[in-house]
Amino acid sequence: MSITSGQPDAFAQFLFGYGLFQGLILLRLLPWLFQQPFTATYWAFTLGIAALSLASLRLVERGMTGVMQELALLLFMGANIAISSIALGTVRLLLRGKLLS
């Protein structure tokens, strides 16, 4: 989308849909993830979370309307909550001296 202009094409929409599918799979794994002890490796999830949120905002910016506008807002809020939670968990590990152990 960075090298084109106008409405997002079908391929960009397909890639967003695939990313959304991956995000839904991650949501399905949340109960299992919450049973595991928090470690710094949870930061691996933040790239995908942030990318999905940014992609939805870019699609809206480029002219997609309707459900995509509400979805972009929900994904943006969810990404902020998820990444903030991981940052808070990392600070807790750091304060306990267990970040690098």
User: What span, in angstroms and rounded, lies between the C-alpha atoms of 91 and 40?
Assistant: 10
Closest alpha carbon to 63 in 1, 15, 4, 7: 7
Confidence category of residue 2, pLDDT binned at 50, 70, 90: confident
Predicted model pTM: 0.88
Predicted confidence at residue 6, as pLDDT, reads: 84
Confidence category of residue 90, pLDDT binned at 50, 70, 90: very high
Express each pLDDT in 45-58 by its tens digit: 999 999 999 999 99
